[in-house]
Amino acid sequence: MSNLPTRLDRCCPKRSESWLARGALRPTRQRMSLAMLLIGDGHDRHVTAETLFSAVQETGEKVSLATVYNTLRAFCDAGLMQEVTVDGARSYFDTNITDHPHYYWEESGTLTDAPADQLAITQLPEPPAGMAISAVDVIIRLRKKPN
Amino acid sequence: MSNLPTRLDRCCPKRSESWLARGALRPTRQRMSLAMLLIGDGHDRHVTAETLFSAVQETGEKVSLATVYNTLRAFCDAGLMQEVTVDGARSYFDTNITDHPHYYWEESGTLTDAPADQLAITQLPEPPAGMAISAVDVIIRLRKKPN
DNA sequence: GTATATGCAAACCGTTTGCATGGCT
DNA sequence: AGCCATGCAAACGGTTTGCATATAC
């Protein structure tokens, strides 16, 4: 579902450590556990606090839910992840910090990357006077094909 | 801020009544009050439950907050409005039910329509196998221009 | 040693719901 | 009469916070 690793020993501590360093975050045990799940294998991930909490529990590591929340926020503040709003009910966090579209699978509440190179926005509305565009969020909502 | 009328007598009851009828909703006092604020002057509106609640209080009408929530949901279920998710913290409701992009004013948390004719998406990612696109949400986030 | 991170439980906040009352048709 | 809408307050669920303890540098 969230497609996260189930074992930390398949992840790369070095990559996680330098990732944390890039955000000027101390490599504590909890942060390392979460970071290894998120980027340890070099793949991009989309998680909610709950899916990440479940995943880290499965590895046997002990991290409290509050720390998962606080850590995800810290990762965002440090510019290592970005928050994606699709659902209202919960927050999604994305390790891919480039500007790119998302698929939102309505049936399962899952968020995945959509291929950025297959999206072409050739014209964008002018920002109103005195305003600048800080981001353009594109969410492609998916449902099961009718038949 | 939410730009809603402050007086109901400037609104058009007839338009509101037929709008409710279109959704097969009975024209109760509370629904009429809310509908007149939302579409009584023929303009499209973007509200949260709270902004609409405040607005209806200012007119002197008595409608409970729970009813505002329930009514907005009823309007959406009836296809008269659509919910827009931008913020996570709260839900926005839009009287414009066509597919169109939005400006989200980060500073004030306000949502407005962006001119649909100035947005051109010439290529969209293929939906994954077995999936169909149910909607494409485009949110243009605005911040104050740097200088 | 000092600043920062963690864990727990309680607080928080927007939203929904259960249930009794009131209004349409 | 019967169905539907409303209001209140309590429940809810995801998220944040206060504070005591533990850890990194």
Mean pLDDT to the nearest integer, A49-76? 97
Q: Is B62 within the bounds of a domain?
A: yes
Residue A1 has pLDDT above 80, yes or no: no
Which pLDDT score, from 0 to 100, does residue B9 have?
78
DSSP string, B80-144: SSEEE-SSSSS-EEES--S---EEEETTTTEEEE--GGG-EEEE-PPPPTTEEEEEEEEEEEEEE
Q: Is B121 within the bounds of a domain?
A: no
Q: Is A32 within the bounds of a domain?
A: yes
User: In the structure, what pLDDT confidence band is assigned to residue B2 with cuts at 50, 70 and 90?
Assistant: low
User: In the structure, what pLDDT confidence band is assigned to residue A2 with cuts at 50, 70 and 90?
Assistant: low
Residue nearest to nucleotide C3 (CA to C1'): A26
Mean pLDDT to the nearest integer, B96-121? 95
Residue B1 has pLDDT above 70, yes or no: no
Residue B8 has pLDDT above 90, yes or no: no
User: In the structure, what pLDDT confidence band is assigned to residue B11 with cuts at 50, 70 and 90?
Assistant: confident
From B21's Cα to the closest Cα of chain A, the distance in A is 29
Mean pLDDT to the nearest integer, A30-54? 96
Q: Which nucleotides of D are covered by protein (CB under 7 A)?
A: 4-10, 13-18, 23-25
Q: Is A129 within the bounds of a domain?
A: no
Q: Which residues of B touch A142 (CB under 8 A)?
A: 127-128, 131-134
Q: Is B27 within the bounds of a domain?
A: yes
Residue A135 has pLDDT above 80, yes or no: yes
User: What are the angstrom distances between the C-alpha of B40 and each of A82, B23, B37, B61, B63?
Assistant: 40, 16, 6, 15, 17
CB A65, CB A49: distance < 8 Å: yes
Pairing of strands B92-94, A110-113: unpaired
Pairing of strands B92-94, B46-47: antiparallel
Total number of domains constituting chain B: 1
Q: Is B28 within the bounds of a domain?
A: yes
Q: Quick one: which of A118, A67, A116, A108 has its CA closest to A87? A: A108
User: In the structure, what pLDDT confidence band is assigned to residue B92 with cuts at 50, 70 and 90?
Assistant: very high
Element (H, E) at B68: helix B65-77
Q: How far apart are CA B139 and CA A90, in angstroms?
A: 18
Mean pLDDT to the nearest integer, B92-114? 95
Mean pLDDT to the nearest integer, A97-102? 95
Chain B CB within 8 Å of residue A83 CB: yes
User: In the structure, what pLDDT confidence band is assigned to residue A3 with cuts at 50, 70 and 90?
Assistant: confident
Residue in the structure block whose two tokens are 């696109």 = B133
Percent over 90 (pLDDT), chain A: 89
Mean pLDDT to the nearest integer, A48-54? 97
Sign of CA dihedral A112, A118, A124, A130: positive
Q: Is B145 within the bounds of a domain?
A: no
Which pLDDT score, from 0 to 100, does residue B10 have?
73
Sign of CA dihedral B56, A90, A141, B120: positive
Give the mean pLDDT of chain B. Answer: 93
- The answer to whether B131 contacts A121, with C-beta atoms less than 8 Å apart, is no
CATH number at residue A20: 1.10.10.10
- The answer to whether B141 contacts A145, with C-beta atoms less than 8 Å apart, is no
- The answer to whether A91 contacts B88, with C-beta atoms less than 8 Å apart, is yes
CB A54, CB A69: distance < 8 Å: no
Q: Domain range holding A36? A: 13-93
